[in-house]
Structure 1
């Protein structure tokens, strides 16, 4: 088991990868640096190896697929995950490692949004999107993570070995944040200085398509992690619609003693039945989620035992 493992997922980062690897070797001399090349068509692998990194391949395209492979293959007491584009300062890594080792943090978030992100990032829709995602997650899941989509994080062994990677692409960071909050793991925020990509280095993100993916991921994860709230909200909307359309029918009946809008009455009845069913589904799934959380706590104990025996 490594003491510290620096994980760098890469796709066509030949302009910056050599500097990123050497920067982290300088600030974390006892760490092992792993670069996972995700089908790059440039010299990313050669330059990373030249800089002293352990280079491995992941052939399934997508950042989520790379991280899945990293988390499965590498054992370490502390993990640092960072992008290979040289937008995150290596100098903050020791503080993040310290939070895991000495503060028992399970996930440490490199917070760009509280420092220079909005000044350095030249893409206004990215800035707006980050703010929307942060607001959504913190309000839906009752947390205070400062930067939901940052690619600079530190993890404990327990987090890495109990985290089921489901996303395939850049929405992986959102999934990580929600998983940590839902599982009652300790999350720390460390403010970092963000810098935009250097000249010649191009972002792989698409503002609109990736933004839509992230928002859909939030909805999906809210359904999975908070089923009672999700299905109850749908139930309330359906019940309200049923009641609103039923009121005129009931009012006409009191005035004339005759129901002359039977189709509306029947539809209202079906909609109300659907509302009750959605509420029942929410209650049932919420009960299953409670059992799942208990099972997760047992799994944490097992993983902690594995960590101790592998040292």
Structure 2
């Protein structure tokens, strides 16, 4: 088991990967640096290997797929995840590692949005999207994570080995943030500087399509992690619509003793039934969620035992 593992997912980062590796080797000399190449068409993998990194490959395209592979294969007491585009300064890594190893943080977020991101990033829709996503998640999940979509993070062994990677692409960071909040893991924020990509280096993030995927991920995770609220809102809307259309029918009946709008009356009945079904669906799913959280705590105990056994085995081998 490594003490510190630096994880760098890469796709066509030949212009910057050598500098990223060199910088992290300088500030974390005892760390093991892993570069996972994701079907690059340039010589990213060769440059990374020559710079002293351990190079591995993930052949399913997408950042989420790469991180899934990394988390499965690498065992470490502390993980640093960064990008290969040299937008995240390595100088902040020691503080992030310290928060994990000494303060027992499960996830440390490299907060770009509180420093230079909005001035360095030249894509205004990215700025708007990051702000909207941060506000939406902090409101929905009642948290205070400063940067939801940053690619610069540190993790504990417990987080990495208990995190179920479902996303395939760039929405993975949003999934990580919500998972940490939902499972009551200790999340800390470290303000970092952000620098835009150097000239000639191109972003792999599509503002509109990847932004839409992130928003859909938030909705899906909201439904999965807060089912009572999600289905409760649907139930309230349906019930309100049913009552709104039912009132004129009742008023007419009280005045004339007749019901002339039977289709409206029947539809109101179906809509209120749908509202009740939504409410009870949320209630049942909330009970299941509570049981899942209890089971998750037991999984954390098993992961901690596994970590202890690995460390003891490494001592015996040495």
| TM-score, with length taken from structure 2 | 0.98
Tell me how far apart the structure 1 counterparts of residues 186 and 166 of structure 2 sit (CA, whole Å).
21
Q: Could you tell me how far apart the structure 2 residues matched to 1:255 and 1:294 are?
A: 56
- Summarize deviations over 1:231-271 as a string: whole Å, max 9, x none: 00000000000000001111111110000100000000000
How do 1:17-32 and structure 2 match up within 5 A? Answer: 17-32=17-32
1:80-116 Cα offsets, whole Å, 9 max, x none, are 0000000000000000000001110000000000000
Match of 1:92 in 2: 92
Q: Name the SS for the 1:12 alignment partner.
A: coil
Describe the SS at the equivalent of 1:60.
coil
Counterpart CA distance in 2 for 1:60 and 1:91 is 31
Match of 2:35 in 1: 35
Aligned counterpart, 2:315: none
- How far did residue 277 of structure 1 move? 0.3
Unpaired stretches in structure 2, ≥5 consecutive residues = 312-318
CA distance in 1, matches of 2:102, 2:17: 30
Matching residue of 1:185: 185
Give yes or no for the alignment of 1:231 onto 2:231: yes
Task: Report the alpha carbon displacement of residue 32 of structure 1 after superposing the two structures with TM.
Answer: 0.4
- 3-state SS in 1 of match to 2:193: coil
Partner of 1:3: 3
Gaps of 5+ in 1: none
Q: Hey, what does 1:258 align to over in structure 2?
A: 258
Counterpart for residue 124 of structure 2: 124
Please give the residue correspondences for 1:131-280 in structure 2 after superposition, counting only pairs within 5 Å: 131-280=131-280
Structure 2 counterparts to residues 103-118 of structure 1, below 5 A: 103-118=103-118
Q: In the alignment, does 2:57 pair up with 1:50?
A: no
1: CA distance, partners of 2:53 / 2:240: 59
- 1:293 CA displacement: 0.2
The CA deviation string for residues 196-238 of structure 1, in whole angstroms up to 9 with x for no partner, is 0000000001101111100000000000000000000000000
After TM superposition, the runs of 4+ consecutive aligned structure 1 residues lying more than 4 A away are: none
CA distance in 2, matches of 1:127, 1:94: 27
Give the alignment's Cα RMSD to 1 decimal: 0.3
Q: Matched residues in 2 for 1:284 and 1:105: separation?
A: 32
Q: Is 1:80 aligned to 2:80, yes or no?
A: yes
**How many pairs were matched up?**
311
TM-score in terms of structure 1 length:
1.00
